């Protein structure tokens, strides 16, 4: 089915909602598409059905009043030509035509391989939070939380509220850096209160900095996690291990559109415009900055795409403030070099194709390794191993091929051309 809009926004998380509101308030025909059936993206998952955060409620409500169209359960999979997105929907393939496009594709958890990391029961903190919000029971379960980032605290807090026994929360960044993050919190009262509130509720749970996992063990399921602070090493028993190392931006669709990156993030100008004409980008793909940063970038992108430059400009100072927060976040939670040597040569790095780190290291670069070992060629399309390889070996995915997400073969076909009488003139090999 064909859909045509003035402004199309990919992603209904905070950046996408804010962009949609700002664009629709400019009087444009606006649509937001999202893989999920709800508004709010991964970060506000569950808010639509069970409201908890007033900020999320305000934006969801504002979006509903904005007049923008929501195309839910719609995953953008390819960009067959300028001005067209091809998307998969459970009922039908969709072709979405746009004059201007705002990419608010968010971020995903970053996983690093260590011995045992593929055992059942080891999940990303964000993934576990999503499972629990969907009703997966964790009552009485012993959970070790480790990795990096503010998400660890938020997730541990949520799990505890659902009756889980949080054995410990380990942040890989050293105390000195995490404390250095304090001033950034202070300049953002909302964040500070959130942080403090979480800490209060977590009383009784050890939150340690400068501690990271080195190994997980178990039979059919994770049973023990070995942690270290660089000097001492110890083991903690658990039923589940929530482990993730900050976030990786979802830049696959921007790359497929030809947007230039710098340092792994989509490069944008002051109007949030990417290097490709009429394409804008907001939120995590431009830098991991959290909800408030995403909201202000989304609003600027929405205004700019709707040719309302004055209100966009009025938000520049606020954005600059959140960009300082974003920079502080990156400094505080930078991954320590020791994490590069967690994986042994026999540790899997590509779970889809069962490729070990040792095998990957035999080859000269990502493409050579990919061709010879098939790493990154499975259904995750290199999303997990590509980010890990980039961190560990300094090499990773170089290009994106359609579809951006696995999609039904029939969804790759556009309505534009007739298939009749294809005139094949030779057989093939």
Partner 1 sequence: MSQTRDIIIVGAGIVGVACAMECARGGLKVLVLDRGPIGGGTTAAGMGHIVVMDDSEAQFALTHYSRSLWHELRPQLPEDIEIEVCGTLWVAADDEEMAEVHRKAKNYGQRGVRVEVLNSADLEKAEPNLRRGLAGGLRVVEDFVIYPPCAARHFLEQARKHGAEVRTGVHVKALRSDGSVLLADGSSISAGRCVNAAGPWSPALTPGLPVRKRKGHLVITDRHPGFVHHQIVELGYLKSAHSTGRDSVAFNIQPRKTGQMLIGSSRQFDADDLTVDQAILDRMLKRAIEYLPALGRLSAIRAWTGHRAATPDKLPLIGPSTVSDRIWLATGHEGLGITTSPGTGRLLADLLLGRKTEIPSAPYAPARFANGGAHHE
Tokens standing for residue 172: 């890989």
The CB-side HSE value for 19 (13 A sphere, CA atoms) comes to 38
C-alpha pair distances (Å), 57 with each of 39, 45, 52, 155: 10, 12, 8, 20
Work out how close the CB of 151 gets to partner 1 at its nearest, in angstroms, rounded to a whole number.
28
> Cα separation of 96 and 381, whole Å?
24
Where do the DSSP E strands lie in 19-138?
A: 30-33, 69-71, 75-81, 84-88, 93-103, 107-109, 122-123
Element (H, E) at 21: helix 14-24
Residue 68: count of CB within 10 angstroms of its CB = 27
Beta carbon nearer to partner 1, 49 or 417: 417
Work out how close the CB of 185 gets to partner 1 at its nearest, in angstroms, rounded to a whole number.
42
Beta carbon nearer to partner 1, 81 or 262: 81
Beta carbon nearer to partner 1, 81 or 187: 81
Work out how close the CB of 369 gets to partner 1 at its nearest, in angstroms, rounded to a whole number.
9
Work out how close the CB of 186 gets to partner 1 at its nearest, in angstroms, rounded to a whole number.
46
Beta carbon nearer to partner 1, 314 or 371: 371
> Cα separation of 61 and 20, whole Å?
12
Work out how close the CB of 305 gets to partner 1 at its nearest, in angstroms, rounded to a whole number.
25
The CB-side HSE value for 215 (13 A sphere, CA atoms) comes to 9
Beta carbon nearer to partner 1, 246 or 373: 373
C-alpha pair distances (Å), 158 with each of 125, 129, 145, 248: 10, 7, 12, 22
Beta carbon nearer to partner 1, 128 or 256: 256
Work out how close the CB of 371 gets to partner 1 at its nearest, in angstroms, rounded to a whole number.
4
**Residues making contact with partner 1 (CB under 8 A):** 78, 80-81, 363-365, 367-368, 371-373, 377-379, 381, 401-403, 406-414, 416-417, 419, 422-429
């Amino acid at each position: 089915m064909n859909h045509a809009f003035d402004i199309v926004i990919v992603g209904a998380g905070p950046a996408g909602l804010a962009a949609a509101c700002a664009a629709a308030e400019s009087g444009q025909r606006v649509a937001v598409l999202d893989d999920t059936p709800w508004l709010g993206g991964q970060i506000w998952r569950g808010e639509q059905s069970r409201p908890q955060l007033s900020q999320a409620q305000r934006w969801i409500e504002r979006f509903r009043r904005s007049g923008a169209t929501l195309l839910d359960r719609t995953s953008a999979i390819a960009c067959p030509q300028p001005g067209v997105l091809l998307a998969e929907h459970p009922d039908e393939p969709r072709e979405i035509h746009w004059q201007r496009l705002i990419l608010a594709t968010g971020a995903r958890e970053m996983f690093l391989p260590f011995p045992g990391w593929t055992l059942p029961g080891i999940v990303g903190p964000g993934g576990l939070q999503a499972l629990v919000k969907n009703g997966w029971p964790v009552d009485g379960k012993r959970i070790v939380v480790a990795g990096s980032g503010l998400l660890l605290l938020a997730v541990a807090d949520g799990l505890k509220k659902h009756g889980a026994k949080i054995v410990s929360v380990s942040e890989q960044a050293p105390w000195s850096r995490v404390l250095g993050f304090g001033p950034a919190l202070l300049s953002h009262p909302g964040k500070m209160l959130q942080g403090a509130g979480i800490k209060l509720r977590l009383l009784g749970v050890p939150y340690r900095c400068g501690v990271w996992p080195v190994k997980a063990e178990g039979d059919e399921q994770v049973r023990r996690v070995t942690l270290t602070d660089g000097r001492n090493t110890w083991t903690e028993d658990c039923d589940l291990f929530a482990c993730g190392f900050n976030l990786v931006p979802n830049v696959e669709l921007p790359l497929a559109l030809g947007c230039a990156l710098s340092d792994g993030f989509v490069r944008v100008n002051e109007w949030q415009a990417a290097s490709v004409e009429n394409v804008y980008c907001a939120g995590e793909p431009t830098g991991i900055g959290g909800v408030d940063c995403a909201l202000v970038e989304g609003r600027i992108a929405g205004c700019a795409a709707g040719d309302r430059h004055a209100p966009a400009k009025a938000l520049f100072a606020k954005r600059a403030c959140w960009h300082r927060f974003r920079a502080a976040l990156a400094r505080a939670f930078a991954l320590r070099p020791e994490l590069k040597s967690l994986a042994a040569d026999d540790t899997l790095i590509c779970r889809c194709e069962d490729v070990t780190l040792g095998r990957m290291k035999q080859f000269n670069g990502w493409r050579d390794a990919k061709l010879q070992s098939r790493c990154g060629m499975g259904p995750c399309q290199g999303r997990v191993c590509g980010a890990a390889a980039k961190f560990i070996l300094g090499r990773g995915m170089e290009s994106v091929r359609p579809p951006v997400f696995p999609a039904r073969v029939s969804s790759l076909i556009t309505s534009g051309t007739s298939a009749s009488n294809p005139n094949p003139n030779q057989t093939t090999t």
